[in-house]
Amino acid sequence: MSLNEIIQTYYEYFNKEKLPYIKCTNCGYVFYYPRAICPKCLSKKLSIMESKGEGEIYSETKFVNEKGQVTIVGLIRLEEGFMIYANILTNRLEDVSINKKVKVEFKEVIKGQKFPFFTTIS
Amino acid sequence: MLLGFSSRYEKVYQGSVLDLIAETVKEALDMAKLEPKDIDGIITSWLPWIFDSTLAIGFPENYISEYIGIRPKFTDLVQYGGASAVEMFYRAYKAVKSGEADRVLCIIGGKGTLMKKQLREGGLERLSEVELLNILRNNPFDEFIRVYQDMDPISFYAMVAARHSKLYGTTDEQRALLAVQQRYNANSNERALFRGPLTVKDVINSRVVSTPLHLLEITYPIDGVLAFIVGKGISQLRSMDVISYGDAVWPEFFAERDVDIVYTPTIESAKKIDFNLNKIDAFEIYDAFTIMVLTELEDLGLTEKGKIGKFIEENDLTIKGNIPVNTGGGSLNMGQPAYMSGIIILEEAFLQFNDMAKGHQVNGADYILVNGLGGWNTHATTLVIGEKR
């Protein structure tokens, strides 16, 4: 697959509320950010996989955005072993801290296109 | 080796950045008793917006050479973020040592305040981060990163601070204590932008910008340029040499790093340093955020990873102390020219080594360690300067 085809597949997964990631079938390396080659062994034998969408907060920070809303951005370590930098959406700020469990949730942020976000698990 | 240098810093510079460069270069050349025709090498750096709000400049080394009348036979462009100035000094040193050039002029800086102005008030403000992708990209995955709201790059260093606290129990007060010690140094520096008494409580009570970082733990973007000349021959300045050097580049996006985010590439650059840190008279450590200095000092090996909080409490990092750090107050108090450059730490090393630091001079500053750190813990350059005996 070419890079653009992989990116397109990612967008389709997102709209179906599935979280994709890539596994190199040559060396076994697992990564999220789309590439047409494995950054460890340069193999093109890659499989697009579907993540369970569950993981834990590796780190996070809270700030007030330009609209005055408390916003959280963080690094999420997924169970499959890769990390995503994304916003964490929750009404319970006190539940957001390092090592807490989170799960993926999809939200349309660009017209017609959903993206993965994370939310706390109660 | 260092023949001349000069700098200009202003909270907001009203003129063109070329005025700022021309004035600074003239002063550096005057100190070195040289003219433009004597310069045969040029190294510069460039970042979006810093040249009179231009988003992009083709051939920045030529752009500057053309304006100030330099005809170089050696050029280089260094984009190491906060490590740029330090890396530039080393590249100029190497170019002279290898005979590629005899006198290299290094110019770094610009108008750091314009980025914010352009993004918030200028024509680009109506563009979302995602739309900006078509104009300026930072990495190959920007589409999958910029859809999220953050306070880049504050968010990244805030996450480093949060994780450092979680793993090692580092407290807000310990980070604040570093800011307080640097302010003590700034109070003896007439060029510092921020002066006056500062307590740990003041830092803790300042607004939280991005948890856990407070306003007084974050540098303030200013306009400014540093010009310096590295070359053969003697000058009125003290004979300076590179005693030891190391650098490291971690290009990967921070979500894809194999190492924990509490480590900086200084852990790698410092390994190449062959010099006893106990003999260092002053440490100039890149300080866009308090947490950067904490993690850099750990990675340099002054203390073990995770023990920096206690280390700051048990040592005096001011100019009167046993381990002087950021002797002029650092960027936290001087401001950050061109929003990431490492100008402040490098010039402070030049001043200290030449006994020119006036009120904030450390006695017997013979060996100075400068540590630049750029991007999102992306580049590190570690340099020990001194006189070869």
The pLDDT profile of chain A, 122 residues, written as one tens digit per residue, is 999 999 999 999 999 999 999 999 999 999 999 999 999 999 999 999 999 999 999 999 999 988 899 999 999 999 999 999 999 999 899 899 999 999 999 999 988 999 999 999 97
State the pLDDT confidence band at B122, using cuts at 50, 70 and 90.
low
- Cβ contacts from A onto B, under 8 A: 83
Q: How many of the other CB atoms lie within 10 Å of CB of B22?
A: 17
Residue B95 has a pLDDT of 98
Residue B127 has a pLDDT of 58
Question: Region B229-246: what's the mean pLDDT?
Answer: 95
Residue B57 has a pLDDT of 87
Distance from CA of A34 to the nearest CA of B (A): 7
Exposure of A22 by Cβ count < 10 A (0-12 exposed, 13-18 middle, 19+ buried)? buried
Question: Has residue B119 got a pLDDT over 60?
Answer: no
Phi and psi at B114, nearest 5°, equal -75, -25
Probe site for chain A from B144, B163, B260, B263 (most A CB atoms < 10 A): B144
Query: Could you give the ipTM of this predicted complex?
Result: 0.97
Residue B136 has a pLDDT of 80
Facing B150 at nearest CB: one of A34, A73, A84: A73
Question: Has residue B239 got a pLDDT over 80?
Answer: yes
Distance CA B59, CA B57 (A): 6
Percent of chain B with pLDDT over 90: 87
Nearest-5° Cα angle at B32, B29 to B33: 80
Residue B48 has a pLDDT of 83
List the single range of B48-57, B179-188, B380-389 with lowest mean pLDDT.
B48-57
Cβ-contact B158, A61 below 8 angstroms: yes
State the pLDDT confidence band at B138, using cuts at 50, 70 and 90.
confident
State the pLDDT confidence band at B115, using cuts at 50, 70 and 90.
low
Percent of chain B with pLDDT over 70: 95
Residue B116 has a pLDDT of 62
Q: Is the dihedral of CA B185, B191, B197, B200 positive or negative?
A: negative
State the pLDDT confidence band at B84, using cuts at 50, 70 and 90.
very high
Facing A98 at nearest CB: one of B141, B154, B162: B162
Distance from CA of A61 to the nearest CA of B (A): 5
> Which residues of B are less than 8 Å from A86 in CB distance?
148
Contact B159 A61 (CB under 8 A): yes
- Report cis status (omega within 30 of 0) of the bond before B60: no
Instruction: Write out the two tokens for B270.
Output: 């410092």
Distance CA A54, CA A81 (A): 11
> Which residues of B are less than 8 Å from A109 in CB distance?
147
Question: Region B45-52: what's the mean pLDDT?
Answer: 85
Residue B130 has a pLDDT of 67
Distance from CA of A108 to the nearest CA of B (A): 10
Residue B124 has a pLDDT of 54
Cβ-contact B165, B171 below 8 angstroms: yes
Distance CA B222, CA B192 (A): 12
- A24 CB-near residues (< 8 Å, 6+ apart): A30, A31, A38, A40, A41, A43, A45, A46
User: For chain B, how big is the Rg over CA atoms in Å?
Assistant: 20
User: For chain A, how big is the Rg over CA atoms in Å?
Assistant: 15
Cβ-contact B301, B384 below 8 angstroms: no
pLDDT in tens, B297-346: 999 999 999 999 999 999 999 999 999 999 999 999 999 998 888 999 99
Determine which helix (DSSP H) or strand (DSSP E) holds B61, and give its type and residue range.
helix B60-68
Sheet of B368-374, strands arranged across: B241-249, B379-386, B368-374, B282-285
- A72 CB-near residues (< 8 Å, 6+ apart): A60, A61, A62, A87, A88, A89, A90, A93, A96
Question: Has residue B85 got a pLDDT over 90?
Answer: yes
Instruction: Write out the two tokens for B29.
Output: 């050349």
pLDDT in tens, B271-300: 999 999 999 999 999 999 999 999 999 999
Instruction: Write out the two tokens for A71.
Output: 């916003």
Question: Has residue B359 got a pLDDT over 80?
Answer: yes
For chain B, what percentages of helix, strand and coil (3-state, to nearest 5) are there? Answer: 40, 20, 40
pLDDT in tens, B13-31: 999 999 999 999 999 999 9
Touching check for A122 and chain B: CB below 8 Å?
Answer: no
Instruction: Write out the two tokens for B76.
Output: 């280089």
> Which residues of A are less than 8 Å from B256 in CB distance?
31-33, 39, 83
Determine which helix (DSSP H) or strand (DSSP E) holds B26, and give its type and residue range.
helix B17-32
Distance CA B347, CA B372 (A): 12
Cβ-contact B241, B388 below 8 angstroms: yes
Helix (H, G, I), strand (E, B) or coil at B354: coil
Helix (H, G, I), strand (E, B) or coil at B347: helix
Determine which helix (DSSP H) or strand (DSSP E) holds B274, and give its type and residue range.
none
Facing B162 at nearest CB: one of A60, A65, A115: A60
Q: pTM (2 decimals)? A: 0.96
- Report cis status (omega within 30 of 0) of the bond before B197: no
Distance CA B17, CA A61 (A): 35
